[in-house]
Amino acid sequence: MGVEIRLEKSLTDEERIALFGWGENIFGVEDAMLRWRPKEWHFIVETEGRAVAHVGVVQTSVRVGEREISVGGVGSVVSVPEARGRGHVHEAMRRAYKFMCEELKVEAGMLFCLERLVAFYARQGWQLVEDTVEIEQPDGTIAAPLRVMVKPCGAGVWPAGKIEVGGLPW
């Protein structure tokens, strides 16, 4: 058995535990106390029949200045510790981006990440957004406390301007 990447609409309880139940604060953002949007699609990387990495996707739109832009939101990106350094997340991200652009027909991919992960995503062609990004939380609209990166589809260019997510981050 080799490496397989599956696209699913949901995760099984077993996959959820394997991917997200191996540690505390695995995404490093629990102290921000943010509420997150559930993912609509799940790219699951399996080796030897076991889920070892994951990339979640949502389809949504954001307002940039006066323009509405369709985006594929990437979130819940994880690799279990024993599977790191093998390119699993990189390949799942590549497939997720292709799916978002070709199947969902969005204008760009967009993700939220910690500062320490900016270089990781930049190596995959994601661009850091320097404009203000506003997200919704139960108590109202706040400035996103995480870095935001985008990757336009095709020859598209991400426009400048304040970004209003208009809902929970993903």
Residue-range domain boundaries for the chain: 3-164
Residue 142 has pLDDT above 80, yes or no: yes
Instruction: State the pLDDT at residue 133.
Output: 98
DSSP structure class, residue 32: G
Residue 1 has pLDDT above 70, yes or no: no
Residue 86 has pLDDT above 80, yes or no: yes
Residue 96 has pLDDT above 70, yes or no: yes
Nearest partner of 149 among 109, 98, 116, 94, judged by Cα: 109
Tokens linked to 33:
């106390």
User: Which pTM does this prediction carry?
Assistant: 0.94
Distance CA 142, CA 130 (A): 16
At residue 156 the predicted structure's pLDDT band, cuts being 50, 70 and 90, is confident
Helices then strands, each counted (H, E), the chain = 3, 10
Instruction: State the pLDDT at residue 2.
Output: 80
The CATH fold of domain 3-164:
Aminopeptidase (3.40.630)
Q: What is the mean pLDDT of residues 148-170?
A: 96
Distance CA 102, CA 109 (A): 12
Residue 94 has pLDDT above 90, yes or no: yes
